Amino acid sequence: MVHFVGAGPGAPDLITLRGKTFLEQADVIIYAGSLVNPQLLSYAKEECQVYNSAHMTLEEVIAVMEQAEEEGKTTVRLHTGDPCIYGAIREQMDILDEKKIAYDSCPGVSSFCGAASALDLEYTLPEISQSVIITRMAGRTPVPPKESIESFAAHQATMVVFLSTGMLEELSQRLIAGGYKEDTPAAIVYKATWEDEKTFVCTVGTLAETARENQITKTALMIIGDAVKTSHYDRSKLYDPEFTTEFRKGTK
């Protein structure tokens, strides 16, 4: 059996209880060493075999899983944040299906949630934005043209940009071309929930400069939109004294 497990954004106590139990029981752990906090490996049994997938190809990862399976062992494939976001899990699962190796998935706290907590942010403020767009700039992995930054910017929703810290000049230009004002609030969150976490509130126009001044070149998320800074939003209906809900009678 292979368990795909979300490690959470960084802090070792932000893995789920289920994920931690899987780590404690695993005979083999293959962890995404470029981003998973190695402190999580302290939950593993002493005799557990540990592999860092940063040095491995897909084929090598699968070979380790296959070998473990032949020996009746349990494998944890540990991915950063939540595996469903830029986790490259589908390609592993498809091969496991072909090989008739059973697997399941355990969610994790994505770094976009860790980044919001680092800034004490609510992405979905009434009358400001009720949507979060999660996207990235094209890198070695292309982004379909219909998902251009410009087209998403047109929504003026809260936007969280992954995997793009080295392209902030271009990101700013494209956000502005898509309709954001240069002074729209933005933030850069570096290593959310890690001990060396850093947060910077800036604007769409100063993203690149902010990263440069603070030597942020990787492991960061960019958050765009008024939700980062506005003080003008509507309070929720859910907690409005006048408003009746399924659980509470309102005054009107």
Of 19 and 81, nearer to ligand SAH (C-beta) is 81
Of 107 and 179, nearer to ligand SAH (C-beta) is 107
Residue number of the CB atom closest to ligand SAH: 81
Rounded least distance, CB 134 to ligand SAH, Å: 9
Token pair recorded at residue 28: 């083999």
Of 4 and 43, nearer to ligand SAH (C-beta) is 4
Of 69 and 82, nearer to ligand SAH (C-beta) is 82
DSSP code, position 225 = S
Question: Across-strand partners of 106?
Answer: 5
Four-residue CA torsion sign, 232, 181, 135, 8: negative
What separation in angstroms does the CA of 152 have from each of 23, 82, 141, 167, 246? 38, 23, 18, 17, 35
Rounded least distance, CB 54 to ligand SAH, Å: 12
Of 100 and 140, nearer to ligand SAH (C-beta) is 140
Q: Kindly report the number of other CB atoms within 10 A of residue 139's CB atom.
A: 11
Give residues in contact with ligand SAH (CB under 6 A): 9-10, 35, 79-82, 85-87, 110-111, 114-115, 162-163, 189, 191-194, 219-221
What three-state secondary structure class fits 18? helix
Question: Across-strand partners of 6?
Answer: 79
Rounded least distance, CB 115 to ligand SAH, Å: 6
Cβ-proximal residues to 116 (8 Å cutoff; 6+ apart), any chain: 122, 123, 223
Rounded least distance, CB 163 to ligand SAH, Å: 4
Token pair recorded at residue 152: 């998403």
Cβ-proximal residues to 214 (8 Å cutoff; 6+ apart), any chain: 188, 190, 198, 200
The residue whose two tokens read 């084929």 is 59
Of 157 and 171, nearer to ligand SAH (C-beta) is 171
Rounded least distance, CB 85 to ligand SAH, Å: 4
Rounded least distance, CB 244 to ligand SAH, Å: 37
Rounded least distance, CB 245 to ligand SAH, Å: 32
Q: Kindly report the number of other CB atoms within 10 A of residue 9's CB atom.
A: 30
Of 69 and 207, nearer to ligand SAH (C-beta) is 207
Give the closest residue to 30 by CA, choosing from 90, 74, 71. Answer: 74
